[in-house]
Amino acid sequence: MTSTLRTLTVPLDVESSSGGLPSFLVRDDVLCWSRREAGLVGYGELTRFNATGPERFLEADIWWRHLILEAEITDHVEVPGTGPVAFGSFAFSKTSPHVSRLILPELVVGIRDGRAWATQLTFDDGPLTEAVVLASVDRWLTEPEPNGDGSAAGGSDVGLSPEAVAADGSAGHLSRGSLSEAAWMQAVSNGVEEIRAGKLEKLVLARDVVANLPEGVNAAEVLRQLAARYRECWTYGVDGLVGATPEMLIQVEGRTAQARVLAGTLDRRDADGMDGSPMEYAERVLAGSEKQRHEHEIAIDSLTRQLAPFSEAMNSHSEPFILELPNVWHLASDVKAELADIEGHVPTCLALINALHPTAAVCGTPTLIAGALIRKLEHLDRGPYAGPVGWLDAAGNGEWGIALRGAVIEDANTVRLYAGCGIVEGSQPEAELAETWAKFRPMLEALGIKR
């Protein structure tokens, strides 16, 4: 054994991966980051870093840089996502006891721009050849999992009374989460009162529901369903956290950083029976809403203000566009920045995340006041929900979304789903509750539960 990380990246036959990245989602314990059939899948666990508290991003950044500083890296592909890659998930709140983590897998398979590759990672002194890497791919794709029941690490007993049952008669059913619907709507009303009193401008409130699946949770199938249905989102799977987020917190490639900011939501079912095409309805109701546009402006201002100190130049859409997803429409804006050289170094992904998170899109503004009010009104620990989730490589590239439209697999039969809404002065509790159900829909569909 050696303490030095060694990695080898070799090309894979693209024809053998004609199904795209979802064809590699064959195990419930995979690490996943996928969009439009491209992305990364990780198998096994070589080592990990855990942290809690306000310094969790910077501590993880230091750990990662030390790990790769002495690494022996052989890369025959050399695109973002090759060489050593770590997958990560971070708690939303600096006060949360939930453990944030970076996980270094034993094997990574990637697909990008029609090219496929595999990276073997090891601390062993044994031979590291192309044949070894290809054999590792075959082994991970064909060997059964140690726990074939789909169970995930951790878990808790959930003894809650049912609020809804699968409409199609399937075995899965829903139980109430930390708050009843009535109690959550009261929390929204209380938040609106705080906004009208001038204490803050925007607040994001989340709620949870629990899915109980007696037949067991098939995490790999959940990821495949999300990747197929929500191709414009980033499907993620890290240590029992699964989902398909439409919001990119930060993507770094070389010295270019990009983000996608969302705020303002409309359920696509609301367009049924309305005049004009669905998109015309979305333009009229979403883009034409002063409340929705105000909420979006707060979110985009929050991100660009925090990103500006790290940037030489920055541009974003002058007007938000409508992002069309299978369940909802969003007001969206893309931001692109050229990163500045600060004291001889371009800021890393995790350094940027430390500055950006939490944005107004998932917390509110002012941040400290909104964060304190969230803890008071939500009556839940968000854990990794609305926290950063994604990956980074040794070259400084990475993609980090916000863990939205997702859930935590708590045990072999229990999944806790999360959804949240931006609350501003004009928010109505009943409408916000309906919006959370629209945002739960991707995970409910993937779990086979209809409501």
Distance from C-alpha of 350 to C-alpha of 60, rounded to nearest angstrom:
8
Of 293, 315, 312, nearest in space to 303 by CA: 315
The pLDDT, as a whole number, for residue 241 is 98
The pLDDT, as a whole number, for residue 159 is 28
Going residue by residue through the chain (451 aa), what tens digit of pLDDT does each one get? 458 999 999 999 866 556 789 999 999 999 999 999 999 999 999 999 999 999 999 999 999 999 999 999 999 999 999 999 999 999 999 999 999 999 999 999 999 998 999 999 999 988 999 999 999 999 999 887 765 444 443 333 322 223 333 444 455 889 999 999 999 999 999 999 999 999 999 999 999 999 999 999 999 999 999 999 999 999 999 999 999 999 999 999 999 999 999 888 888 888 776 777 888 888 888 888 888 888 888 888 889 999 999 999 999 877 888 999 999 888 899 999 999 998 888 999 999 999 999 999 899 999 999 999 999 999 999 999 999 999 999 999 999 999 999 999 999 999 999 999 999 998 999 999 999 999 999 999 999 998 7
Of 247, 223, 225, 248, nearest in space to 237 by CA: 223
The pLDDT, as a whole number, for residue 18 is 64
The pLDDT, as a whole number, for residue 276 is 72
Strand partners, 243: 236, 406
Of 378, 424, 416, 369, nearest in space to 183 by CA: 378
The pLDDT, as a whole number, for residue 15 is 65
Contacts of 251 (CB under 8 A, 6+ apart): 257, 258, 259, 398, 399, 400
Of 37, 44, 34, 74, nearest in space to 137 by CA: 44
Distances (CA, A) of 341 to 60, 256, 309, 311, 370: 21, 12, 11, 8, 32
The pLDDT, as a whole number, for residue 163 is 37
Contacts of 132 (CB under 8 A, 6+ apart): 8, 120, 126
Distances (CA, A) of 86 to 42, 93, 100, 157, 182: 9, 21, 13, 31, 41
- pTM of the prediction? 0.92
The pLDDT, as a whole number, for residue 352 is 96
The pLDDT, as a whole number, for residue 438 is 93
Helix axes 56-69, 349-356, angle to 10 degrees: 180
pLDDT in tens, 54-92: 999 999 999 999 999 999 999 999 999 999 999 999 999
Give CA 251 to chain center in angstroms: 13
Number of H helices, E strands in the chain: 9, 24
Give CA 275 to chain center in angstroms: 35
Q: Are 33 and 21 in contact (CB under 8 A)?
A: no
The pLDDT, as a whole number, for residue 145 is 75
pLDDT in tens, 275-319: 778 888 888 888 888 888 888 888 888 899 999 999 999 998 778
Reply yes or no: is the peptide bond before residue 366 cis, omega within 30 of 0.
yes
Of 171, 246, 206, nearest in space to 447 by CA: 171
Specify the 3-state DSSP secondary structure of 336: strand
Distance from C-alpha of 440 to C-alpha of 174, rounded to nearest angstrom:
12
